Chains A and B, each alone.
Chain A
């Protein structure tokens, strides 16, 4: 049923992504691919994997932006992006087959790959570019919030988090329940001013982003660097003299 659930359950699961600590290492994207290519959405097909024009299904893609123009206030922000499991997901309601659905119990947006006809309309309806077409299987695929991991009783409790969260080396990704005001993700959003992407579209994403903390404006950095002396043509002895006198 592609109508949105009228009753909401106890949980609203999602991610908090910290743009302050993300170092842009792409580990989240890689571990996501690793887990999901053999799980609920398997396979995440790659085409031309070892030659030119390679393409394939990834649930997580890491962009890098330059913010604040040039000068001391400029900064580089790494920006991982995946499905935000919106409260008002048009990708679900446009689906003609009932393959797309939003779970009432935890708000996760999923695709039933056995019902999908591969019309791609859901990808047209998503402003975040979170749904991708698997041209080999002929159906759409998307982030499941690692539904086959977070509820997996065969895993130790500490491992029951999405693959992207488990692997992040800079702890820039947090998983939790936004319906619980005392959960870690709810606290992070409150304390750090978590925000929605493209709030003007009205999709009301569940997952939030934390802004980079204010920089120190390059305080303490030397105002001007002295040019290195020209030692071209100097022999070993003169270079030693230069080193001694430079101390």
Chain B
């Protein structure tokens, strides 16, 4: 599948944004984080900025962005519409919780409930994003049980790294934040390793024989394409540039998204709060590169059933 930059930015930025917002909401509502104006402004502001940037960038790949508001209507059948509705609904508790924290310095009582609702809606929205991909039966690399947990854990893990950095900058860092990030990163690595193993070993669901129904006569081989130039289907579904370097890019993703941030945060845990700022910033930069490579691979390694007709495996 063609990895559109707008969709990579959308899924990674909104994932990290919702992860950060969910963690801020939980720790704020629980009183672990102080209801300090600037901490709330920067933390919630960054979370909202990431979510909004992601949602806006997702409209850039539309042919008719001026009609985007129509995309909220079909939530009964479409995960994309559900994602849009959930994202908009989520802004209500985020706004209430943010106003309580930033302007009233209060994250208790009703604002704590808004925080709980924020965490729930962040979870629901990321689930919907993942299901857009996981529900497509045409792409075996997405239509499996590991796509949803990967989106959830990677959103939370990147959000947790941001939480470590922000809390350290405001002097409210706690080792529990780094521990949480380390656990989530380890879990994320395990999920992605299992995912890569699964897509490598799974048998293709369809072949040129079943696609054409001609397997009854023996082996089927493409003799002639319908045309000499690439059509929309081939450019959109037949992307194979990064697949050539998939092995190396997987190592890059595993190192920069999981191993390096994990080591940096473990170092912060071992050395105490003094190093937390530096380690948090370095881990953020590394994971930012890593999650973009991971998402690029998620698209580039995905093969589409329609390409079987064009003589490719899927």
| Residues of A that sit less than 8 Å from B by CB | 1-4, 19, 24, 26, 29, 53-58, 61-69, 73, 75-77, 79, 81, 90, 92-99, 115-121, 123-129, 132-135, 137-140, 195-202, 209, 211-212
Name the B residues within 8 Å of A69 (CB-CB). 218-219
Task: State whether B70 touches A115 (Cβ < 8 A).
Answer: yes
Chain A contacts for B211, CB-based, 8 A: 197-198
B224–chain A nearest beta-carbon distance, Å: 4
User: In chain B, what residue has the closest Cβ to A203?
Assistant: B137
Contact B74 A2, beta carbon cutoff 8 Å = yes
- Cross-chain contact of B73 among A54, A97, A118, A211 (Cβ < 8 A): A97
18 contacts between A and B (CB under 8 A): A1-B74, A4-B77, A19-B214, A54-B229, A63-B222, A68-B218, A76-B223, A90-B136, A93-B77, A94-B78, A96-B70, A96-B81, A116-B64, A121-B78, A124-B138, A126-B138, A133-B236, A197-B213
* B230 neighbours in A (Cβ, 8 Å): 55
The answer to the question of B244 belonging to the interface, with a C-beta cut-off of 8 Å to chain A, is no
The complex places the Cα of A95 from the Cα of B221 at a distance, in Å, of: 34
Beta-carbon contact of B138 and A202 below 8 Å: no
Across-interface contacts of B298 in A (CB, < 8 A):
none
Specify which of A55, A64, A67, A201 is in contact with B229 (CB 8 Å cutoff): A55
- Taking A56-B231, A118-B62 as known contacts, 7 extra A-B pairs with beta carbons closer than 8 A to each other, sorted by chain A number, are A29-B226, A58-B227, A65-B220, A68-B219, A95-B78, A116-B67, A119-B63
The minimal Cβ–Cβ distance linking B132 to chain A, given in whole angstroms, is 7
In contact, A201 and B305 (Cβ under 8 angstroms): yes
- A55–B236 Cα distance when bound, in Å, is 13
**Do A3 and B77 contact each other (CB < 8 Å), given the known contacts A61-B231, A124-B136, A211-B213?**
yes
The number of chain B residues with a CB under 8 A from chain A is 60
Least CB distance from A66 to B in Å reads: 5
Q: Are B138 and A121 closer than 8 Å at their CB atoms?
A: no
B176 at the interface (CB under 8 A from A): no
Q: Is the interface of A mostly helix, strand, loop or mixed?
A: loop
* Complex partner residue of A96 from B73, B206, B216, B217, CB under 8 angstroms: B73
Assembled-state Cα–Cα distance A132/B220 (Å): 25
Contact between B226 and A132 (Cβ–Cβ < 8 Å)? no
Residue B79 is within 8 A (CB to CB) of chain A in the complex: yes
Is B270 close to A, CB under 8 A?
no
Q: Which of A55, A58, A97 has the most CB of B within 10 A?
A: A97
With A54-B229, A129-B233 as given contacts, are A119 and B136 in contact (CB-CB < 8 Å)? Answer: no
Selected from A4, A79, A129, A211, the residue in CB contact (under 8 A) with B306 is A129
Contact B206–A201 (Cβ < 8 Å): yes
Complexed CA–CA distance, A135 and B305 (Å) = 22
* Chain A residues in 8 Å Cβ range of B216: 211
B237 in contact (CB, < 8 A): yes
Contact A124 B309 (CB under 8 A): no
A64/B84 in contact, CB under 8 A: no
Question: Whole-angstrom distance between the alpha carbons of A65 and B84 in the complex?
Answer: 43
B212 at the interface (CB under 8 A from A): yes
Contacts of A66 in B (CB 8 A): 220-223
Cα distance A14–B39 in the bound complex, in angstroms: 62
CB-contact partner of B67 in A19, A61, A117, under 8 A: A117
Say yes or no: A94 contacts B63, CB within 8 Å.
no
Complex Cα distance, B267 from A130, in Å, reads 53
CB-CB under 8 A from A195, the residues of chain B are: 213
Which residues of A have CB within 8 Å of B64? 116-118, 138-139
Whether A117 contacts B78 in the complex (CB less than 8 A), given A63-B309, A65-B208, A65-B220, comes out as no
Contact B305 A127 (CB under 8 A): yes
* B226 lies within 8 A of A67 (CB): no
- For B30, what are the chain A residues with a Cβ–Cβ distance below 8 Å? none
Q: Does B274 contact A (CB under 8 A)?
A: no
Alpha-carbon separation in the docked complex, A150 to B64 (Å): 30
Chain B, residue nearest A76 (CB):
B223
Q: How far is the CA of A58 from the CA of B212 in the complex (A)?
A: 20
B306 x A121 contact (CB < 8 A): no
- Please determine whether A127 and B236 come into contact, CB atoms closer than 8 angstroms: no
Are A129 and B237 in contact, CB atoms less than 8 angstroms apart? yes
Which residues of chain B in 53-92 are interfacial with respect to chain A, using CB atoms and an 8 Å cutoff? 61-65, 67-68, 70-74, 76-81, 84
Closest-by-CB residue of A relative to B139 is A124
- If A118-B62, A201-B205, A212-B217 touch, whether A123 touches B233 (CB-CB below 8 Å) is yes
Q: Do residues B217 and A67 form an inter-chain contact, with CB atoms below 8 A?
A: yes
* A138→B231 CA distance, assembly (Å): 16
